[in-house]
């Protein structure tokens, strides 16, 4: 299954929808480049909607951590939203669930980004 990414804006916050498998290789490169472009345009804040992410491997986890770290270093932020049970389990066992800021709904992730930026 190919990875598909798309962007939309909700309440003034860019949301990147991730659909498919996030695995080491071309998929991680596609996501990394797409999100970096969105961050440059958006003012360094984005929500990654994981509701259609079927699978993530260690390379995918590394990409999520790298994007988070890059955004933070540039004064921005990334929040993850709507992981399915499998993806949530991977984030929990790697102890990244709380570090990366994972929310069960897109609305909560957006509200947290807006709260942190003072735009709420």
Find the CATH number of the domain harbouring 35.
3.30.750.24
Q: How many domains does the chain have?
A: 1
pLDDT at 11 over 60: yes
| Contact (CB, 8 A) for 14 and 5 | no
In a domain, 120, yes or no: no
pLDDT at 94 over 70: yes
- Tell me the average pLDDT of the chain: 92
In a domain, 86, yes or no: yes
Q: State which residues form the domain around 32.
A: 4-113
Residues 14-54: tens digit of each pLDDT: 999 999 999 999 999 999 999 999 998 877 799 999 999 99
75 vs 51, more confident: 51
Question: So what's the pLDDT on residue 114?
Answer: 87
Confidence category of residue 120, pLDDT binned at 50, 70, 90: very low
> 3-state SS string over the chain?
CCCEEEEEEECCEEEEEEEEEECCCHHHHHHHHHHHHHHHHHCCEEEEEEEEEEEECHHHHHHHHHHHHHHHHCCCEEEEECCCHHHHHHHHHCCCHHHHCEECCHHHHHHHHHHHHCCC
Question: So what's the pLDDT on residue 28?
Answer: 96
In a domain, 80, yes or no: yes
In a domain, 118, yes or no: no
| Contact (CB, 8 A) for 30 and 1 | no
In a domain, 109, yes or no: yes
Question: So what's the pLDDT on residue 1?
Answer: 58
Work out the average pLDDT over 68-83. Answer: 93
């Amino acid at each position: 299954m190919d990875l598909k990414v798309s962007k939309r804006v909700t309440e003034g916050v860019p949301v990147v929808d991730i659909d498919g498998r996030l695995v080491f290789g071309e998929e991680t490169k596609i996501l990394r480049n797409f999100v970096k472009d969105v961050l440059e345009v958006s003012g360094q804040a984005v929500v990654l909607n994981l509701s259609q992410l079927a699978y993530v491997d260690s390379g995918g986890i590394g990409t999520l951590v790298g994007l988070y770290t890059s955004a933070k270093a540039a004064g921005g932020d990334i929040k993850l939203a709507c992981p399915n049970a499998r993806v949530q389990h991977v984030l929990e066992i790697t102890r990244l669930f709380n570090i990366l800021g994972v929310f069960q709904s897109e609305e909560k992730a957006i509200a947290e980004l807006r709260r942190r930026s003072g735009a709420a």
